[in-house]
Amino acid sequence: MRKRYLAPLVLSAVFFAACGGETKQEEKKVENAQETPAADNSMVSGSSEAKTEESKGEKLMAASDCQTCHKVEMKVVGPALKDIAAKYPNTPENVDKLADKVIKGGSGNWGEVAMLPHPNVSKDDAKEMVTYILSLKK
């Protein structure tokens, strides 16, 4: 009888440990970035500075736990971000519907595994994230 309760407990602990580990890695990246001196780009031509700037939605996703279950090109636990963009046209209705899905969680659209709710994400931030995801259309 005890074994029946042990497996879900262990799996839950592993899941929560995986979801919470990104903030320490981000802090290390920030510390390393502050220690590294900036490169001198004064001799670089303007054409090589064509690096695209991150959108607000992309920054919000990088700061959250989204990458635990989603990657841009590859299905992990949840669908690849490009697959989501291919399935849903970038319309205000879809942005609103998917932003609600981010906040409330849910299952059924991509299989049996449910997406956990993110009640701490504001509606505006969720819309920014969804807008970024839908901009990744193949």
Determine if residue 61 is labeled as part of a ligand binding site.
Answer: no
Determine if residue 129 is labeled as part of a ligand binding site.
Answer: no
Q: Which CATH architecture has domain 54-138?
A: Orthogonal Bundle (1.10)
Quick: pLDDT tens for 72-129: 999 989 999 999 999 999 999 999 999 999 999 988 888 888 899 999 999 999 999 9
Determine if residue 70 is labeled as part of a ligand binding site.
Answer: yes
Cβ density class 64-91: b for 16+ within 10 Å, e for less = bbbebbbbeeeeeebbbbbbbbeebeee
Quick: pLDDT tens for 11-52: 666 555 555 555 455 555 545 555 545 555 544 544 444 445
Please determine, for residue 62, whether its predicted confidence score (pLDDT) is greater than 90: no
pTM to 2 decimal places: 0.60
Q: Domains of the chain: which residue ranges?
A: 1-36, 54-138
